[in-house]
Amino acid sequence: GGPQNTLDEPVWETAKRDLRRICKNLVMVVFPFKDRSQQSAALRNWDLWGPMIFTLGLATTLSLGAQTASKTFSLVFALVSMGAIVLTVNVVLLGGTIGFFQSLCLLGYCLFPMDVAAIVCVTVKIMLVRWIVVPVMIVWASWASIPFVGGAVPANRRALAVFPLVLLYTAVGWLALIT
């Protein structure tokens, strides 16, 4: 349930509570080493700070290495945000039981591996390293998000929901690769 009476709590309490929630969500989504079944319950405390930070980070990192910084930045940011929204609508249209903001939150947090990939690609010039890191990160991001998305839709439509997801991460990975 919600907080009892938070109207008069000190400002720091609110800030700490939100920060703690971001960390918890990140660990739940991206490093799920424990039991997966409680994850959908855990993501009930969705927040959009994580996705915002990761999307901004991704766009910034990718624009650092590009020629036209501002265009790349806008492109990546718009691509990722639109992609997340379209994917969410896709899940909802396929009869999924995931909430709109929950899904956005999830997809945003799963960008974390792509952030890592982007940082590696921008700092390391050796193509071989990039070709190893990017697919690994794509797999990690997909592995983190597929159970949520796949579990929310009926079994016969799972592929329809999962395919665009992998496509989005692959597109982002490609952008990172060619920087």
Partner 1 sequence: MADTLPQTTAPTPVAVEQPSYAHPVAAFFLFFFKAAAVFIYIFCGWFGTDFVINFCTITFLLVCDFWTVKNVSGRLMVGLRWWNEVSEMGGSDWKFESLEEGQRAVNKKDSFVFWTLLYATPAVWCALGFIAILKLNIDYLLLVIIAVLLSGANLMGYLKCSKAAQNQIKGRFNSLFASGLRAYMFSGRS
Interface contacts to partner 1, rule CB under 8 A: 1-2, 5-12, 14-15, 18, 44, 46, 49, 52, 56, 59-60, 63, 69-71, 73-74, 77-78, 97-102, 152
Burial of 157 from C-beta contacts in 10 A (0-12 / 13-18 / 19+): middle
**How many angstroms separate the CA atoms of 101 and 88, rounded?**
9
Q: How far is the CB of 92 from partner 1 (least distance, A)?
A: 10
Which residue number, 11 or 155, has a Cβ lying nearer to partner 1? 11
Q: How far is the CB of 115 from partner 1 (least distance, A)?
A: 14
Which residue number, 11 or 128, has a Cβ lying nearer to partner 1? 11
Which residue number, 89 or 132, has a Cβ lying nearer to partner 1? 89
Q: How far is the CB of 132 from partner 1 (least distance, A)?
A: 28
Which residue number, 32 or 99, has a Cβ lying nearer to partner 1? 99
User: SS in 3 state form for the chain?
Assistant: CCCCCCCCCCHHHHHHHHHHHHHHHHHHHHCCCCCHHHHHHHCCCCCCHHHHHHHHHHHHHHHHCCCCHHHHHHHHHHHHHHHHHHHHHHHHHCCCCCCHHHHHHHHHHCCHHHHHHHHHHHHCCCHHHHHHHHHHHHHHHHHHHHHHHHHHCCHHHHHHHHHHHHHHHHHHHHHHHCC
Q: How far is the CB of 91 from partner 1 (least distance, A)?
A: 11
Q: How far is the CB of 145 from partner 1 (least distance, A)?
A: 16
Which residue number, 48 or 129, has a Cβ lying nearer to partner 1? 48
